Chains A and B, each alone.
Chain A
């Protein structure tokens, strides 16, 4: 690979990482309007339920129940609840820390589109001692737009068959 190509790749990897880290900070800060801006208008945000199945035999259906199977409008609906004064379980606010690691960025055949993989550990704390960590792997399709990098597709896979919490009151 030429030096210029390597530099471009490294530059793109840095920009993708910066995008994901910024996203994590916005979520921790409850800056949901800014967070929505990181996604394209035609985004598909998908987190299917996890099933434990034998290797031989049928996989779980790709159209099975999900935690998220959202368009941009669906994401806006969720944000609307978070911002509602009557969201009682958000007052006092939940304290979130999203840890993002394992970031890998790859070019695709489309010049302005990249595959970005990462892992998130979402720490959630409520009340005095109610703490949960939800782990997930993410596979994103990120596009380079005049306004900067934007997420067009996010597929989230969580290892747990059972969500270890009464609700998933954040994004992953």
Chain B
């Protein structure tokens, strides 16, 4: 059954209900409950329908299901499970017994009457320039509803290397994940270089929320939800471009690029005649926080999120390998190749976080096509799994292993010619990470391959599908022929037509789709490689493990995921209904 906190044993009423009867009970200090007699067994649930506000005891009880009298949503009384539309949220149930002819239940006392609080988080000092913290709307804490799905700690058991297959299949876990993981994390939304001029924009996703990322007149960047505040239609339909404002096609509501302020509406004189018309409150809804780290733009919907610097933590030291190995920083090349995979997003993200092992087997045909040889044997000597806050980087220090698979001589020449300069800038270790056999995932779903320079987001599209966005990242200062070589190389290897990526998709899709089988879903998965490989390292920050042939980063990814799933809900823009 479900508990939201400590319960108290309460006598509800005399056990004199007929079978098939239900009764509303109101007691001081408790929300109203409904008591049911189903074939002689007594049950107790909350009386208020989770859909709107109706009293379920005014509805109908048939067999073991109660139907709400207003909108006909039904609930399975013994478990509280919402069974038919429009009921979606499960009903809270209470342990019930009969004692001395009385119905006794373990009730939770009423919550305090205030449902919303404005968090008093101080204005956060962000790390670099071009930061913006939204001041629109009042962020509200949504109280969790009854938790009838398994908790994160039940689904992930890192010390024993176990991950429950339901996290790749179940719809309700996915719905919770959208809020607890995606709306609580900093998500990558753009590279600074994609929107150089005021009015430049791109559209993308944060979880399944459509957002527009726009360069402001003052040079900062803001991100808003791509949904008109009037009736919700998208206000921007292009992938990228340049505009003076966003105009909704439905009623002509027009929003400025400066944070999405409402500029005007069609037939505005009619609106303006209304004394309650408040255009200042009708701008496009902004993300809670936005900041950049060395060209990468991140945003979060959670007003209570830590700073971006705290979110990245020591992982920033590693990110500098890609983002800060040359003066002038980096840029994305033009073009965003997109594809759809019928796999759960986490299957792909965990692969990039820590899976060096698959390369030699999955990608043998790709290596033979490009290099006419098998994938380089992973050196046991100097390689690592490193994770920080759920982010993971697995790598060896051969400096060129990944880059070589692009099959582009210009790229190899460029890396070799710059090695000394990178050693001076970042030190020997990070210089050797630059093109090495490695892969990275920034929690939750932003991955890349150092060396191949392919950057990607695994956008979630339900539990069984992922929408993949990919880009190529290069140093701004690289010669044009080197940039062309990277673009060509990535196309040949890590795009949907690429000889390496082609073999990944099927593995991940099948790993997800098999879980349609209910028995299959009960079977364990194995995440037990490299259990006792944690080491202290004099130079490498974060949780360091020896050997890149390891599951340590995957365990860290899922542990962090589980912690978020079980944590307090985010303070997202908008009010609780």
Q: Quick check: B365 and A68 within 8 Å, CB to CB?
A: no
Q: Quick check: A49 and B368 within 8 Å, CB to CB?
A: no
Q: Quick check: B506 and A58 within 8 Å, CB to CB?
A: no
Inside 8 A of A168's CB, which chain B residues have their CB?
A: 496-497
Q: Does B501 belong to the interface (CB within 8 Å)?
A: yes
Q: Quick check: B364 and A86 within 8 Å, CB to CB?
A: yes
> Contacting B338 at CB < 8 Å: which of A54, A60, A162?
A162
Q: Quick check: A81 and B239 within 8 Å, CB to CB?
A: no
Distance A53 CA – B237 CA, assembled complex (angstroms): 8
Distance A166 CA – B407 CA, assembled complex (angstroms): 23
Q: Quick check: A81 and B366 within 8 Å, CB to CB?
A: yes
* Interface residues on chain A, size class: 35 or more
Q: Quick check: A58 and B241 within 8 Å, CB to CB?
A: yes
Q: Quick check: B497 and A165 within 8 Å, CB to CB?
A: no
Inside 8 A of A49's CB, which chain B residues have their CB?
A: 335-338
Q: Quick check: A69 and B239 within 8 Å, CB to CB?
A: no
Inside 8 A of B339's CB, which chain A residues have their CB?
A: 162-167
Q: Does B503 belong to the interface (CB within 8 Å)?
A: yes
Which residues of B in the span 206-258 have a Cβ within 8 Å of any Cβ on A?
237-243
| Residue in B369, B495, B497, B505 with the greatest tally of chain A CB atoms within 10 Å | B497
Q: Quick check: B238 and A87 within 8 Å, CB to CB?
A: no
Q: Quick check: B365 and A162 within 8 Å, CB to CB?
A: no
Distance A161 CA – B238 CA, assembled complex (angstroms): 11
Q: Does A74 belong to the interface (CB within 8 Å)?
A: yes
Q: Does B359 belong to the interface (CB within 8 Å)?
A: no
A52 CB, nearest partner CB in chain B, Å: 5
A77-B407, A88-B362, A166-B341 known; A48+B496 contact, CB < 8 A = no
A58 CB, nearest partner CB in chain B, Å: 6
Contact code string B479-492 (vs A, CB < 8 Å = 1, else 0)? 00000100110111
> Contacting B340 at CB < 8 Å: which of A81, A85, A162?
A162
Distance A51 CA – B94 CA, assembled complex (angstroms): 54
Q: Quick check: A60 and B340 within 8 Å, CB to CB?
A: no
A80-B368, A87-B365, A169-B502 known; A61+B238 contact, CB < 8 A = no
6 A-B contacts (beta carbon < 8 Å): A51-B240, A63-B487, A166-B342, A166-B509, A168-B496, A168-B497
A-side residues, CB < 8 A to B, are 47-49, 51-54, 57-58, 60-61, 63-69, 74, 77-78, 80-81, 84-89, 126, 161-169
B-side residues, CB < 8 A to A, are 237-243, 333-343, 362, 364-366, 368-370, 407, 467, 470-472, 484, 487-488, 490-492, 495-497, 499, 501-506, 508-509
Closest 7 CB pairs of A and B: A166-B505, A65-B335, A64-B335, A81-B369, A61-B334, A84-B365, A87-B365
